[in-house]
Structures are given as C-alpha cells and as structure tokens.
Amino acid sequence: MSWKTCSEKIERLKKEGLLRTIKDRQAQQSASKILIDGVEYINFASNDYLGLSTNSSIAESAKRAIDQYGFGAGASRLLSGGTELHSALERMVSEFKKTGAALAFNSGYSANTSAIPAIAGENDIIFSDELNHASIIDGCRLSKARTVIYRHRDVAHLSELLKKEKGDKKIIVTDTVFSMDGDIAPLYDIYNICLANDAIFYLDDAHGTGVLGDGHGALAHFKLKPEPWIIQMGTFSKALGSYGAFIAADKDTINWFINSARGFIFSTALPSCVIAASIAALNIIQEGPEIADRLWQNRERLFRGLHKAGFDTLNSETPIIPVIVGDTEKTMRFSDHLKNHHIYAPAIRPATVKMPRIRFTVSAAHTDEDIDKVLEVLRKTL
C-alpha cells in the first residue's frame, strides 16, 4: 500500500465521520472522572466496572512488588520471566473460577488468539456467535478449523447448524457479555447443546468476570458447574482494574496451552507489579458483594432513567448500556453535546458496530449525582 493510498483512505474516513483518533487522559484520582486537555468529565467510557483502577490498596500492592521483584519481567514465563506471584495468581483464579488450573496471558486479545488456535485443528468446526468480539474472530481465523457463524444468541439456529455440519471436534465460542450491546449469551441453553452434541464450550468472560455471579462470572450467574469441556477466558483489565487476562480450565487443557498457545510461549511475562495488582483486586472482590451491589444499583438508576426518557437501549442487561440516537453524523453530534456538558461517552461507529450508538458503561465509582446529571442532560436534549 503506497503512502498516497493511505492518505486517500484517511480522507475518506474523515468525510464519512469514521476516522478514529487517540484521546490520552491526564493523571486522575477518581475512577469515575477523566481529565482530557485539562478538562474534567464524568467518565462513561471505561470498563473499570468496580472502580478498582484507582484503589489505593491495589496500588500499594503493585509498589511493593516493584521493590521486591523490579519492574520488567525480562523473559517469557518458560524462560524464567515469571515470579512466584504469577503462580499464586493462577492458583487464586482456578479457585475463584472453580477449575482445575489457570494460566495468565498478557491480554484478552492475546488469550483468544492463542487459545482458540491451540484447541481447533484443521478437521474441526468452530461455531461462533455473529457478534463475538474481534479477538474471538481473529482467533478463529488463525486456527485451522472451519468457522460457522450462528445468529446472535439464536440457540435454535446454533442447534440446526450443529446437526448439519460435520467435523472431528465441535467447538462453540461465545462472549458471555457482548461489549457493544450489553446483553448476555444464553449460556444455560448453550451448555445443554454442548452436552447433547459432545462439543467444547469456549467462553469469553471478559465483561462478566467481576460483574456477574457475585463477581465469579457468567457460569456462576447461570448456576452452571465448570466442566472439563468448558474453557473460560477472563481479563484482569476490566472489573479488576489491573491488566492482563487468564484462561481457566482443567489441568490437562492448561498444560496443553503452556505447550501450544503461541501468545503465551513467545511473549515476555507480565511484570510482577501487574500480577500483584491483580491478586489484590481478586482479594477485594472475594471480600464481599458490596462493590458489585453498588455497580448494579448504579446500572439500574441509569437504565430506568433512560427508558423513562424514551431512549432505545437495545437489549441491554448489564452495566453496558447502548443508546441509539440515529445515523453516524447524529450520533457524533450527540456525543459532542454530552462532552460540552462534561460527560464523556464517545460515539461507537461502523465498522466496530453496524448501528451507531452512544455506549454508556456504568461503574460502581459513579455517584447518584453523576448519573442524575447525565439523565438531566439527555432529557433536555431529547
């Protein structure tokens, strides 16, 4: 691709209102606020669901780890880049998720693009929800398996495809909470479909861990027992306010990932201070449901107010609440209007989603006043 071609493509994105730009924030003390170019906004664009990113005890744990282990890992886990903290965190995750073992990855994207190809061979078939995250889509593409797309949350369509398609191994892959619509996958039904079809069940619980099931995630939300044929991916970077990701599964599956997941094998280990922060966050979540309860109270306050004002929130069931206001141009204007009132909720546009929307993500750190201000501005705008 020539430089001229890149320039032409950028100009086209500008004209269509689809050009993405980076907006780096400045130092902040509150998880519910964001400081950009010296202006403070109420932040509704973060996945920091429990407000733990600015928690002082988590920060202190990270500082102590730097004093003990230094900062950089220096090598991959297989070349001694890890520390005893890494193993401790993985034991905690396996207990938290009630699985035989767990393995830390550098990001949710790395976990999905590493684990899915590791379990899917060329004679296998992957069944993937049409609204799955880009990391799942890329993981399926990197595998040698054939990928079949089923309609969003449509278990009848999934069952139909499973009967029709043939393969050595069948793998059903889905997000638990869909990050743009805020709805939840019908895990109970898919669980039973897996049982009936001897299929592997791969869950991306990035937006469910710390949020659903008293924090334990989507399987706990549906009161489903982890099984050897279920693989759970989750992140430390959202509700836990830290960084990185994990796979929780039975011991043999985790051992296989240690020996075959390329993103794990060929990546420098996460710094020990990041691991220490994740351990501290996991401890906080397990202390009690108070933070999660506050999150859901805030979610209900905003959700009810949006509905009372007449806004379309699609099928949101979680702290992710999309608001549909029109085409791309109108959605951009709407986002700018919110920003003028010190509310940060960027427009989500194609190609990320087919239908433009404002995506509000609620945090336990938001106050009643934060949410009421948003609702007041939205009512006046409508």
Q: How many CB atoms lie within 10 A of CB 116?
A: 29
Residue 314 · residue 183 · CB < 8 Å = yes
Q: How many CB atoms lie within 10 A of CB 70?
A: 13
Q: Are residues 276 and 303 in the same domain?
A: no
Q: Are residues 205 and 80 in the same domain?
A: yes
Non-local CB neighbours of 361 within 8 Å, separated by 6+ positions: 44, 45, 46, 47, 49, 319, 320, 321
Asked if the structure places residue 65 within a domain, the reply is: yes
Residue 340 to residue 331: CA distance in whole angstroms: 14
Asked if the structure places residue 298 within a domain, the reply is: yes
Instruction: Return the CATH number at 118.
Output: 3.40.640.10
Residue 31 to residue 130: CA distance in whole angstroms: 32
Instruction: Return the CATH number at 297.
Output: 3.90.1150.10
Q: Are residues 96 and 36 in the same domain?
A: no
Tally of residues, the chain: 382
State the pLDDT at residue 375: 96
Asked if the structure places residue 1 within a domain, the reply is: no
Give the phi and the psi of residue 46 in degrees, each rounded to 5.
-110, 150
Residue at a domain's end among 228, 260, 287? 287
State the pLDDT at residue 2: 58
- Sequential pLDDT tens for the chain (382 residues): 455 688 888 888 888 888 888 888 777 778 899 999 999 999 999 999 999 999 999 999 999 999 999 999 999 999 989 999 999 999 999 999 999 999 999 999 999 999 999 999 999 999 999 999 999 999 999 999 999 999 999 999 999 999 999 999 999 999 999 999 999 999 999 999 999 999 999 999 999 999 999 999 999 999 999 999 999 999 999 999 999 999 999 999 999 999 999 999 999 999 999 999 999 999 999 998 899 999 999 999 999 999 999 999 999 999 999 999 989 999 999 999 999 999 999 999 998 899 999 999 999 999 999 999 999 999 888 7
| Strands across the sheet containing 39-43 | 33-36, 39-43, 343-344
DSSP β-ladder status, 357-361 and 347-348: antiparallel
Q: Are residues 267 and 301 in the same domain?
A: no
Q: Are residues 168 and 187 in the same domain?
A: yes
Measured CA angle at 139 (ends 348, 233), to 5 deg: 80
Q: Is 379 exposed, middle or buried (0-12, 13-18, 19+ CB in 10 A)?
A: middle
Residue 230 · residue 199 · CB < 8 Å = no
State the pLDDT at residue 17: 82
Residue 169 · residue 124 · CB < 8 Å = yes
Residue 190 · residue 161 · CB < 8 Å = no
Q: Are residues 222 and 119 in the same domain?
A: yes
Asked if the structure places residue 70 within a domain, the reply is: yes
Asked if the structure places residue 6 within a domain, the reply is: no
Residue at a domain's end among 234, 255, 287? 287
Asked if the structure places residue 4 within a domain, the reply is: no
Q: Are residues 251 and 297 in the same domain?
A: no
Q: Are residues 281 and 296 in the same domain?
A: no
Q: Are residues 126 and 169 in the same domain?
A: yes
Residue owning tokens 């054939």: 146
Q: Are residues 341 and 239 in the same domain?
A: no
Distance in angstroms between the alpha carbons of the first and the last residue of the chain: 44
Q: Are residues 364 and 231 in the same domain?
A: no
Whole-prediction pTM: 0.93
Q: Tokens at residue 37, please?
A: 């170019």
Residue 332 to residue 326: CA distance in whole angstroms: 10
State the pLDDT at residue 226: 96
Q: What is the DSSP string of 103-123?
A: EEES-HHHHHHHHHHHH--TT
Measured CA angle at 36 (ends 31, 39), to 5 deg: 95
Q: Which of 275, 226, 270 is nearest to 251 (CA)?
A: 226
Q: Are residues 265 and 313 in the same domain?
A: no
Asked if the structure places residue 10 within a domain, the reply is: no
Asked if the structure places residue 3 within a domain, the reply is: no
Q: Print the domain residue range for 360.
A: 17-46+289-381
Q: How many CB atoms lie within 10 A of CB 200?
A: 21
Residue 115 · residue 173 · CB < 8 Å = no
DSSP assignment, residue 177? Answer: B
Q: Is 168 exposed, middle or buried (0-12, 13-18, 19+ CB in 10 A)?
A: exposed
Helix axes 108-119, 134-142, angle to 10 degrees: 30
Residue at a domain's end among 271, 287, 303? 287
Number of separate domains in the chain: 2
